[in-house]
Structure 1
Amino acid sequence: MALVLVTGASTGLGLATATTLAADGHDVVLHARNAGRLDDASVLEQMYGVVYGDLSQHDETVQVAQQANAIGAFDAVIHNAGVMRSRDALAVNVVAPFVLTAVMSPPGRAIFLSSGMHLSGSPRRLAPDFSDPARTSYEDSKLFITAFALALARLRPQTRTHVVDPGWVPTRMGGPSAPDDLDEGHATQEWLATADEDAIDPPTGAYWYHRTTRAPHPAAADPGFQDAVVRALEAHTGLELTA
């Protein structure tokens, strides 16, 4: 049995991930922006706990991390929360996972949701976008979070860290005509969070699609670019990612 935090779990893949893990007997802490985001509040009866906060806001993201720390040491954190076509893409998809990682006690495992669309991201657009977040595309944001996750795997080897492309699945974000399987869209992150360590190969630092490793964007795999992303996030947030 694992203690798992799932961010952005009021709807879509996050909700499916949280409820499946809970049904499998794990202690799940559900994160939502606020209580009103839950279409069915009875889902909380299945959860070990709940934390609230708007991940587009720095102070509220810090508070989410503090709420999580008050619950205890997590076996796994699944960074599922994300937005697509929004000026908050940089804040929610990249800055918030960094802030949670910097403020929370390190979990045993960290799983970050990316997207196959990160392959279309540009590694040249990081620095200017903090002053103009609306310029950051979804593709760029997923490139940056992929690079950050792979940096974390290198800088914190005690936390087994992976990146997941869930595919284009029929959620509110993906739309009803999305071609990928919804169950497959959350199965990989559940497996990475809870499987026996010797069942996951490589044990850390991989980019996954449906339990199969794939090559990420070359920039995301470049330690130089990874370090540049970390430095930019540290400067922007005033938080340090301790090794």
Structure 2
Amino acid sequence: MILVTGASTGIGLATAEALARAGHRVVLHARKPDGVSNPALRAQMHGLIFGDLSDQQQTRELAVAANELGRFDAVIHNAGVINGPVTAVNVIAPYILMATLTAPRRSIVLSSSMHRSGSTDLNRAFRGPGDYSTSKLLATTLALALAARTSTLSHAVDPGWVPTRMGGPNAPDDFDAGHRTQEWLATADPKDILPVSGGYWHHLRPQDPHPYTTDPAFQDSLVEKLARLTGVAFPK
């Protein structure tokens, strides 16, 4: 069973549909029920769960609903925004889900090449709604911290700049290539994935992320900051 967050449109929807067509039991998350109005899409999915990831309480309730479905083989943290409550959706929500879901076997966090220009000043990062590049730096750090600290096989993925509602119609990258990597990481035999955990990927190839994302001291500082903000301890 695979959970895909933020899957009512764009790459998330394509990921969920491709995994369902391949025979996997997919649980699709959307912000509101009216975001998944297509009966055919609903019929494809093993389950549907709803919640606004900019709201910490709704994110916790989402985790409770997801846990009632059972342990996931993989969670794809696809949900993200480029404007508005960026830190809440792109960083705090995946942290809460990582900390409160029954530990999945695999976790994949959507990142961006823009993470390399993010700020490593955590006080600045959590001041106001946040900025996209910094949020993706922190989300990538969370993915690699999960890999370093738990038995969950955890990775971050740069899907590229693809033509979605967020990326815009003139984005230059291939849309299908934008979701293949996370599908593969969620389902492939672990012996075919190198590194088996803790990788940063772009179009099925491991890449070097921002050096702070793999720094244990920076990972610790981020995890401690998020634990204080949410009242939820990071998994061990």
1:51 is matched with: 49
Show the counterpart of 2:183: 190
- Map of 2:165 onto structure 1: 172
- How far has the Cα of 1:242 moved from its partner? 2.7
Residue in structure 2 matched with residue 4 of structure 1 by the alignment: 2
Question: Which of 98, 102, 109 is equivalent to 1:101?
Answer: 98
SS at match of 1:20: helix
- Would you say 1:133 and 2:131 are equivalent positions? no
2-structure distance, mates of 1:41, 1:139: 36
1:26 to 24, 27, 30: 24
Letter in 2 for 1:94: V
Structure 2 counterparts to residues 141-156 of structure 1, below 5 A: 141-156=135-150
Normalised to the residue count of structure 2, the TM-score between the two structures is 0.98
Structure 1 gaps of 5+ residues are none
Letter in 1 for 2:3: L
Out of 75, 79, 82, the residue aligned to residue 81 of structure 1 is 79
Read off the aligned partner of 1:194 and give its amino acid letter.
T
2:89 is matched with 92
- Residue 79 of structure 2: SS of its match in structure 1? coil
Aligned pairs for 1:189-208 within 5 A: 189-208=182-201
Equivalents in 2 of 1:242, 1:144: separation in Å? 17
Q: Give yes or no for the alignment of 1:162 onto 2:155.
A: yes
Shift of 1:38: 2.5
Task: Tell me the distance in 2 between the aligned counterparts of 1:163 and 1:41.
Answer: 32
Q: How many residues align?
A: 236
Conserved 8 A contact 1:170-1:179: yes
Distance 1:15 1:76 in 2: 16
CA distance in 1, matches of 2:111, 2:11: 13
Deviations 1:121-157 (A, max 9, x none): 0101x22443x323x210000000111111110010x
Counterpart contact for 1:5–1:77, Cα < 8 Å: yes
Q: Deviations over 1:31-65 (max 9, x none)?
A: 00011123534311100001100000000000110
CA contact (8 A) 1:149 1:163 kept: yes
Deviations, residues 212-237 of structure 1 (Å, cap 9, x unaligned):
01000011121111111111000100
Alpha-carbon contact 1:127-1:232 (below 8 Å) kept = no
Alpha-carbon distance in 1 for matches of 2:173, 2:58: 33
Residues 185, 193 of structure 2: 8 Å contact kept: yes
Counterpart of 2:99, as a letter, is: A
Q: 2:207 aligns with which of 207, 214, 222?
A: 214
SS of 1:62 mapped into structure 2: helix
Cα distance in 1, alignment partners of residues 177 and 197 from structure 2: 21
Contact kept? 1:94, 1:144, Cα under 8 Å: yes
Are 1:8 and 1:81, in contact at CA under 8 Å, matched by a contact in 2?
yes
Instruction: Give the aligned CA root-mean-square deviation in angstroms.
Output: 1.0
- The aligned amino acid for 1:201 is L
> Could you state the TM-score of these two structures normalised by the residue count of structure 1?
0.95
Q: AA paired with 2:16?
A: A
Q: Percent same amino acid among aligned pairs?
A: 53
Mapped partners of 1:184, 1:81: distance in 2:
18
Q: Matched residues in 1 for 2:37 and 2:208: separation? A: 37
